Amino acid sequence: MTKDPQAVPAQEALERLQKGNQRFLDALRPSGDISPELRRDTCENGQHPYAIVIACSDSRVVPEHIFDAGIGELFVIRIAGNVIDAHQLGSIEYAAQHLGCRLILVMGHTHCGAVEAAICHNPDGYIRFITDEIRAAIGGEKDEEKASRLNVRHSVSIIESSLVIHQEEETHRLCVRGALYHPASGRVEFLDDSGEKEKKDPNAGMDFAPLLESLIGVIQEFHLKLGYEKKEIGLYYPLDSLNRLLDRTLTPQEMDRALAAFADGEKDRLGPLQISRKGDRYCIRVPETGAAYVHDHVEEPKFLAAFLKTLERKDLAFSDIRAVFERFSNQARWKEADHEQFDYLFWFADDKPDAYRYCVRFEEDGHTSYHRFTQKEYDARA
Ligand SMILES: [Zn+2]
């Protein structure tokens, strides 16, 4: 990309949008310049829009009116529900790379029919492409305004994670912002002080400790079962499990970044973690330095060791399993499992020596299989 001397810096573009919206609120009719002179001038000398606006197709949401803009001022992409896919990204890239736009504004709105359809209906036909995308953004949110905000955030995060846009962001001060238009008042609410902070440090306040604990727990389990070797271990997590561990509702793109930050924070301890994703399934590869760290520095889980030792025996009975739990605590509990594929659930009421839920199944061939879950994970799958 060539440096465009006419490019308007993102902050200045944002202020122009805010002032434009104020003029719109104050005026009775649009005052943007649509004169024949400007029309001819922009044809002969090219366009230099100062911002990219992604808005809904709703006939009440007209960005040029809302920001009191004339010909050549805004590069507008309109699509029902302001969702983002490859075509929209292509348009954004074009305007950023070739027209010098520095500000990308995703503007959702209240009373959005597309968001409402995603919350309340199951549309057929091509509409579904849009409502499915919105649903991915809003999860189970039923409040229309909150859902609209989540939908804007989702579009912002898709734009930010698009590779070319991301490079532009670093080298050319490209800025992606979200906004919510209120058609009743005409006011544009720029969603961002908190969003902006999140953007600079999207993992601010995120507690990675439960993820680290889970990782270490699985590595220990692995070592106890297969014997310790100083070698790389691959661990698999679905997106929803990671969200439960981090107590967030991150999109895959946001999770990519969160895990990158996690890996960065752990590189001195666990070594360089390799993180990959297929759809919403993640693989975290812990290198041999990480395996060695867990083996050498984290205390061996004595209960898990004893439990696994017990499971090596054939033809176990319920009482054998109960005995190993009772050996470690008088707070041991058990009941029939809520999961069809298991017979019993065991746990420690006071979460000591550990807080896992152990599901056990007595197989027909005489061996005993198990899976251990965190309580949240167990509840989510019950
Ligand atoms: Zn709409």
* Cα separation, 56 vs 135, whole angstroms: 16
Largest distance between two CA atoms of the chain = 90
199-251 residue pLDDT tens: 445 566 688 889 999 999 999 999 999 889 889 999 999 999 999 999 888 88
CATH of 209-297, one of 3.30.70, 3.30.56, 3.40.50, 1.10.3470: 3.30.56
262-278 residue pLDDT tens: 998 898 889 999 999 98
Q: 152 CA distance to ligand 1 centroid (A)?
A: 11
Whose CA is closest to 166, among 51, 89, 105?
Answer: 89
Q: 78 CA distance to ligand 1 centroid (A)?
A: 10
13-43 residue pLDDT tens: 999 999 999 999 988 777 889 999 999 999 9
Q: 194 CA distance to ligand 1 centroid (A)?
A: 24
pLDDT, mean over the chain: 89
Q: 59 CA distance to ligand 1 centroid (A)?
A: 9
User: Residue 353 contacts by C-beta under 8 Å, 6 or more apart in sequence?
Assistant: 301, 302, 303, 328, 329
Q: 20 CA distance to ligand 1 centroid (A)?
A: 21
* Cα separation, 273 vs 289, whole angstroms: 10
Q: What CATH code is assigned to 10-200?
A: 3.40.1050.10
Mean pLDDT of the 324-348 span: 93
Q: Where does the chain hold its CATH 3.30.56 domain(s)? A: 209-297
Asked if 101 and 54 count as a contact pair (C-beta separation under 8 A), the reply is no
Q: What per-residue confidence (pLDDT) applies to 183?
A: 94
Q: What per-residue confidence (pLDDT) applies to 328?
A: 95
Q: 27 CA distance to ligand 1 centroid (A)?
A: 24
Q: What per-residue confidence (pLDDT) applies to 271?
A: 93
Q: 111 CA distance to ligand 1 centroid (A)?
A: 7
Q: 135 CA distance to ligand 1 centroid (A)?
A: 14
Q: What per-residue confidence (pLDDT) applies to 1?
A: 42
Q: 181 CA distance to ligand 1 centroid (A)?
A: 10
SS3 164: helix
Strand order in the sheet with 74-78: 74-78, 51-55, 103-109, 175-182, 187-190
Q: 340 CA distance to ligand 1 centroid (A)?
A: 43
Q: 61 CA distance to ligand 1 centroid (A)?
A: 8
Reply yes or no on whether the pLDDT at 379 is more than 70. Answer: yes
Q: What per-residue confidence (pLDDT) applies to 192?
A: 67
Which residues are close to ligand 1, an ion, with C-beta < 5 A? 56, 58, 112, 114
283-322 residue pLDDT tens: 999 999 999 999 998 888 999 999 999 999 999 999 999 9
Q: 116 CA distance to ligand 1 centroid (A)?
A: 9
Q: Where does the chain hold its CATH 3.40.1050.10 domain(s)? A: 10-200
Reply yes or no on whether the pLDDT at 88 is more than 90. Answer: yes
Instruction: Considering only CA atoms, give the Rg of the chain.
Output: 27
Whose CA is closest to 180, among 79, 54, 297, 296?
Answer: 54
Q: What per-residue confidence (pLDDT) applies to 212?
A: 93
* Cα separation, 16 vs 11, whole angstroms: 9
Q: How confident is the model at residue 195 (pLDDT cuts 50, 70, 90)?
A: very low
- Give the chain's count of helices (H) and strands (E): 16, 12
Tokens of 286: 């812990």
Percent of the chain residues past pLDDT 90, beyond the cut: 68
* Cα separation, 10 vs 88, whole angstroms: 20
